[in-house]
Amino acid sequence: MCCLNPQFFFVINTLVALLLSHIECYSSGRNVLYGLSSYRHLPLNKPENLLKKVGITSHISSGLITYLPFGQLLIDKLKHYVESKFITRLGAAKVKFPSLLPQTLMSESRKLEFGDSLFSITDRNDRKYYLSPTSEEIISEVISQMGVLPMLAKPIYLFQSSEKYRDEMRPCTAALRYREFLMFDLYSFHSTQECLDNSFKSIAQIYREISKEFNIETYESDRDSELEFLTTIGDKQIELGHLFKLGTQFTGGISSSHSVYMGSYGIGLLRLLSAILWAHRDDEGVILPPQLSVFGTAVMDTKCNLAALTKIFNLNSCECMLLDDRDGKIEDKLCDLRTVGIPRIVISLSNGVVRYLDRRESSFGELPYR
């Protein structure tokens, strides 16, 4: 098993960003909004209904979901937002860990801690692995192999966003409790307890800023070396994120001469997305905040001159438009587009006039064009 170098991700992400900045993007509603019409009848008074109605997820079996096309776009956008926040504020670097955790890396106390929630498999050589419920063991092993200097001049921050696995006794869609779930995980390494304490405070503040920027009401549960960020979605209390001061629990083998102190920080990305959608909903669906708008404009008239629309609304060359090329009644298509919260919906472009709906203001407008 191997973990990819953080510099590799930086180079790839930079190249992708440069390429995308010169591409005019048009996406097909027939694909992006696939499955949305199946849930038009659902009311918006329950979180699990909201995820279906907005086209985020589809239920497969107990504790298992599929991300639908629009949901995948939103979760990718949110993941990028969260990752960028920690890159900008901490200089954190992205890594990628395997989902298989060798049994030999997990201590007996940790096995007892997770108990029956561990998924386990055995390979052809009778070696046992766990589907990773968390990654403290793996990141500690990586840091040990890399030969980190005993006295860290500054903290090391490494993160990944990946699936985690837990055999929940009672999976619950309403409580957003699944057997497979997407987590943002950040790990920090320090030369002193004081350095860890300072980073812990800084990272907790970033959590608060994320909640504030998305207008999510959160409350904190503070216990010794642990901090939970909680919110209420519907009638359920949901944990959005947690922070742990792990001290030297996982880092004893990194250095024989000096202690290395570790912190672990997680954010449930689907839970965060659900909280955002719940906070930004109205009677028609959701009004996506700017940070999550994957499409600035949706176009219902497939015969529209898209190049003309780009000029009329002064769109950036990299801003994606959604071309709603689905079959069906105009009123049904408009209802779907309002439900998913695309900020601007172009209804028609004819006779020198563009007619559109401003979703955030819930008002219709017209603009002349030539």
Which domains does the chain possess?
6-42+284-368 (3.40.50.800), 47-282 (3.30.930.10)
For 284, other C-beta atoms within 10 Å of its C-beta total 14
Distance of CA 252 to the CA centre of its chain: 32
Predicted local confidence at residue 314, as pLDDT: 66
> Would you call 231 helix, strand, or coil by DSSP?
strand
Predicted local confidence at residue 342, as pLDDT: 92
Tokens linked to 198:
């300072």
Distance of CA 199 to the CA centre of its chain: 22
Predicted local confidence at residue 10, as pLDDT: 60
Predicted local confidence at residue 50, as pLDDT: 92
Q: At what angle do helices 193-213 and 69-90 cross, to 10 degrees?
A: 140
Burial class (CB in 10 A: 0-12, 13-18, 19+), 224: exposed
Mean pLDDT by 10 residues, the chain (370 residues): 60 52 65 89 86 92 94 96 97 96 89 91 96 93 75 86 94 89 96 94 97 96 92 93 94 76 97 96 92 89 70 66 88 93 86 84 82
Predicted local confidence at residue 145, as pLDDT: 84
Residues pairing with 270 in the sheet: none
Tokens linked to 44:
């918006």
For 343, other C-beta atoms within 10 Å of its C-beta total 18
Tokens linked to 223:
């216990």
Q: At what angle do helices 269-279 and 69-90 cross, to 10 degrees?
A: 100
Start-to-end CA span in the chain (Å) = 60
Predicted local confidence at residue 201, as pLDDT: 96
Predicted local confidence at residue 89, as pLDDT: 97
Burial class (CB in 10 A: 0-12, 13-18, 19+), 324: buried
Q: In what order do the strands lie in the sheet with 320-323?
A: 25-28, 320-323, 297-299, 344-350, 353-358, 363-368
Predicted local confidence at residue 74, as pLDDT: 96
C-alpha 192/C-alpha 63 separation (Å) is 40
What's the whole-model pTM score? 0.88
Contacts of 88 (CB under 8 A, 6+ apart): none
Predicted local confidence at residue 111, as pLDDT: 86
Distance of CA 369 to the CA centre of its chain: 39
Predicted local confidence at residue 83, as pLDDT: 98
C-alpha 189/C-alpha 223 separation (Å) is 21
Q: In what order do the strands lie in the sheet with 261-268?
A: 93-94, 156-165, 180-190, 261-268, 236-247, 226-233, 219-223
> Would you call 258 helix, strand, or coil by DSSP?
coil
The dihedral through the CA atoms of 332, 338, 342, 347 has a sign that is positive
Conformation bin of residue 328: beta by default, left when phi > 0, alpha when psi is -120 to 50: left
Closest CA to 95 of 202, 204, 182, 186: 186
C-alpha 298/C-alpha 322 separation (Å) is 4
> Using the 8-state DSSP alphabet, how is residue 104 labeled?
G
C-alpha 242/C-alpha 302 separation (Å) is 46
> Would you call 252 helix, strand, or coil by DSSP?
coil
